[in-house]
Structure 1
Amino acid sequence: MSNSEDFLICNACGTQYGTTSDLTACKICDDPRQYVPPSGQSWTTLGSLKAGDFENQFVADDGDSKITFLSTRPKFAIGQRAILLQTPSGNVLWDLITLIDEETVDFIHSIGGLKAIVISHPHYYSTHLEWAKRFNCPVYLAEEDKEWICRDEDPDNVRRFITRETETILPGVTAIKAGGHFPGSLLLHWENKLLIADTVMATPSGLYFKDRPTGTNSYSFMWSYPNMIPLSPDEIWPIWKSIKPFEFDTTHGAFHGLTIRDKDAKKRMLDSMQIQVRRSGHSKHGILEEAF
């Protein structure tokens, strides 16, 4: 029986496949939302990552000590961060990084372990079976995106597929199915914070909030971020409908430096949606009638 640390991992997206045999393509990277780098498709393993120069860093959020950002250095694959929330009912890990090593396991256990993992979309499925097994916790994925799972087996029965528009992960922690980037793309809401992953992306102009002129953009909404393919208005509007019932003044994105803190964050998100819809030539779309 193969050791899962020898299973192949795509160097471009960090997804682990359930095989040690040679692979010629990664279905995640061959999809138009992602890409194969100019150097071509290449592979590694979790064992190789652990034996190499990679390590995970743990950085507390400047605005809330109950939030910790996990990232791998030097950058590996897409380079996203995972976000650990310390809630009164237990810890939740939002999104994943590929590398899981003993230092990471020890750190998370030192602050209470994990009650659940929630992954926003298939680009961050990475090594989710490894994480769930080490922490003996479920991992929540959207039902609509099952086709992108690259390890078919689930021997520990850890996967939980979200079928409803919202799912309570723990008291006060809610997964919101927004769609767009992927059919099942998720957001996570907790304590007036919205964790947006790649479902919504904070833009450079969104990081400045003092004396902002009317009509300034804060967020973008894309089908593919690396290939710069925007969502249509009919895909953007359901994102707004999904978050409309929730209040938030902070958004945390998938990468370092993409946190926005502003009492008007929710209004700025709607403003940004309306800017993108108007600039795509849709002057009478229903989302333009939405008001904060």
Structure 2
Amino acid sequence: MASSEPVYDPKKTGSWLICTACGTQFPTTDRQELKTCFICDDPRQFTPPTGQAFTTLDELRSNNKNVWTPFEGDERFISINTEPKVAIGQRAILIKTPNGNVLWDCLTLIDDDTINKIKTLGGLKAIVISHPHYYSTHVEWACAFNCPVYLAAEDKQWTTQSSTHQVFVDETELDLKINGISSGVQVLKLGGHFPGSFVALYEKRLLIADTLVTTPSGLGSWDTDAVGAARTRPAGMNSFSFMWSIPNMIPLAPDELQRMWSILKKYDFSSTHGAFLKMDIVKTVPEMKRRVLESMQIQIRYMGYGDHVFLKEIVA
């Protein structure tokens, strides 16, 4: 069920079927041909109790809109989410760099208002998608802005369409270039959730999607108590979990966490920004790195690997 769409043509693709559970577009209008979504049949996703269902971009354009929320204190980053929620409900993040705009992750809904808004902000030079659950309508986006969309080579099997705009990344660490010049965006293939799961780093802000899953205790505030007195964060609190399957709550193994850390520890970051709105943790570089490492170690310890060598790792 492959297609190659070098030209953006919303009239042609507006009736193509979209999975309502994960938001992925398939290049067909035939509901007898397409009865299930193979992405949602994988244990890392799911089909809801109501069963498999499909919608179209034409339907979404009539009922939904994209909403824009700049990062607090840093308008180089803008969260984009769809209301009412579509499928998983993730946000995309527009990164404004001096060499052009980069879109981190992707949304299912693309319409004239979204295209015009991005064009007023300078257009798009590249799209980077963290993992297959957010592949959504990425070919539509890439065609609309005539830009490359970067996907992990390891996860190519999860694409439902082919396009000349797709770039399949083999590298573990990619300095994303725009017209041959570094954008400053670093794309790091940490793996874990999927073999090719990405995070992206720009100006010490780490965009993590689901590669690191932000936890409620990570977002919690222990700066003061109920009467305003200063206090410290209790010991043993994680900030992230690391999951092979998030909806089915299947964690990653200790050796996989150690391998992920071996890549990430080389980079400095002072904040993390998860898959959804209000999943932002902003601290200092050493504290953010400690939080990631400690979260990995907490998960390993409570999985019963109290003697694992990785528990001795520290943040320098």
TM-score bracket for this pair, using the shorter chain length = over 0.9
Residue 82 of structure 1 is matched in structure 2 by 92
Which of 292, 299, 310 matches 1:276?
299
TM-superposed CA distance for 1:235, in Å, is: 1.6
Q: Say whether 1:244 aligns with 2:280.
A: no
Q: What is the root-mean-square deviation of aligned Cα atoms in Å?
A: 1.3
Matched to 1:86, the amino acid is K
Q: Distance in 1 between matches of 2:109 and 2:310?
A: 40
* Residue equivalent to 2:51: 40
1:149 aligns with 2:156: no
Is the radius of gyration larger for structure 1 or structure 2?
2
Query: Structure 1 unaligned runs (5+)?
Result: none
Greater Cα offset, 102-111 or 206-215:
206-215
SS of 2:14 mapped into structure 1:
helix
Aligned to 2:26: 17
Q: 1:169 offset after TM fit, Å? A: 1.2
**Residue deviations 1:148-203, cap 9 Å, x none?**
0011x31xx10011101111113210110000000000000111111000000111
Name the SS of the counterpart of 1:276 in structure 2.
helix
TM-score of the superposed pair, with normalisation by structure 2: 0.89
**Share of identical aligned residues, percent?**
52
Q: How does 1:1-292 map to 2 (within 5 A)?
A: 3-22=12-31, 23-51=34-62, 53-151=63-161, 153-154=162-163, 157-170=164-177, 171=182, 172-209=184-221, 210=223, 211-263=232-284, 264-292=287-315
Deviation of 1:219 (Å): 0.7
Return the offset for 1:255.
Answer: 0.4
Measured against aligned partners, the alpha-carbon deviations of 1:249-287 in whole angstroms (never above 9, x if no partner) come to: 100000011100011111110000000000000012232
- What is the CA-CA distance between 1:241 and the residue it aligns to? 1.1
Cα distance in 1, alignment partners of residues 21 and 154 from structure 2: 23
SS in 1 for 2:30: coil
Give, in angstroms, the shift of residue 28 of structure 1: 0.6
TM-score (norm: length of structure 1) = 0.96
Aligned length: 288
Determine the C-alpha separation between the residues in 2 that align with 1:286 and 1:150.
Answer: 41
CA distance in 1, matches of 2:36, 2:296: 35
* 1:6-40 Cα distance to aligned partner (Å, 9 max, x none): 21100010000111112111011000011001111
2:39 counterpart SS class: helix
Q: What is the CA distance between 1:216 and its match in structure 2?
A: 1.7
